[in-house]
Amino acid sequence: MSSKPVVKGFFDSRTSSIQYVVHCPQTKQCAIIDPVLDFDEKSGATATRHADAILAYIGEAGLSVQWILDTHPHADHFSAARYLKSKTAAPTAIGERVVDVQKLWKGIYNWPDLAEDGSQWDRLFKDGESFKLGNIDASIMFSPGHTMASITYVIGDAAFVHDTLFMPDSGTARADFPGGSASRLYRSIMAILALPGETRVFTGHDYQPDGREPLWESTVAEQKATNTHMSTCRNEAEFVAVREARDRSLPMPKLILHALQININGGQLPPPEANGKRYLKFPLDALAGASWGD
């Protein structure tokens, strides 16, 4: 049996996010990972262009959707998981610790009616749990730090590491969101870097340093040798100091308060009100101390 899935990345330039379709070449069964629902915060408009492009690729390649997977509740884009489920009937999944994020943000949003048991997804994966993508063995690594719920999907020789590692020239992801921890992030990254050196590493974002073209694939060996944080920080304490100093200078993502109320609810948009329109709600002055940026 092949242990090398076929991976197709889709880059969203608005959010610098990478969405993935990963499939078993023998069975043509695929998983969609971290899909984006288009949202324009200026006009309040939503669209499904990126999700529809994924569906078009799946149709053209003759694939069948086995899973719709999110690595964590995203703070910079809306998840298209619910939309894609409506089009494919495939089950949705996320890590079981999403309930911790739900409980935290339920209070921030003052949202008493939010179910905080993860029931918005069809499956909640546990750390170390195994599953199949077609004929390919897959497993879950609990990878907290960026969020309390982050997981890594290891599918054959491919690791989908979400917001832990970026490409080697960009270092690592921030750990200053509510519930984040630079120490936990370091330990999560070290577990990922303990995978075999030839393991392909697929990141959740690329911010194109120096204006280069977007990139999202490296290897564990490349990350260990050249990642701007992991190859220079000699221990956890040095990493935490570097990561926390960097995080203090970063403004919050512009969509964090918009996106998390969608994403802790499984990608479900708010129900229409009496006038047929949907409304977002987010708190003022809830993220005290965040940098305003430029």
* Residue pLDDT, tens place only, 136-187: 999 999 999 999 999 999 999 999 999 999 999 999 999 999 999 999 999 9
Residue 277 lies in a domain: no
- Supply the range of the domain harboring residue 217: 7-263
Beta partners for residue 20, in sequence order: 9, 33
Residue 163 lies in a domain: yes
Residue 183 lies in a domain: yes
The pLDDT score that the predictor gives to residue 288 is 82
Residue 225 lies in a domain: yes
pTM of the predicted structure, to 2 decimals: 0.96
Closest of 229, 111, 112, 99 to residue 166, by C-alpha? 229
Residue 278 lies in a domain: no
Residue 213 lies in a domain: yes
Cα torsion angle, 188, 245, 227, 146, sign: positive
Tokens of 107: 């209070």
If one counts the domains in the chain, the total is: 1
The pLDDT score that the predictor gives to residue 289 is 81
The pLDDT score that the predictor gives to residue 198 is 97
State the CATH number of the domain containing residue 35. 3.60.15.10
Residue 142 lies in a domain: yes
The pLDDT score that the predictor gives to residue 1 is 44
Residue 274 lies in a domain: no
Cα torsion angle, 127, 192, 147, 151, sign: negative
* pLDDT < 50 regions, the chain: 1
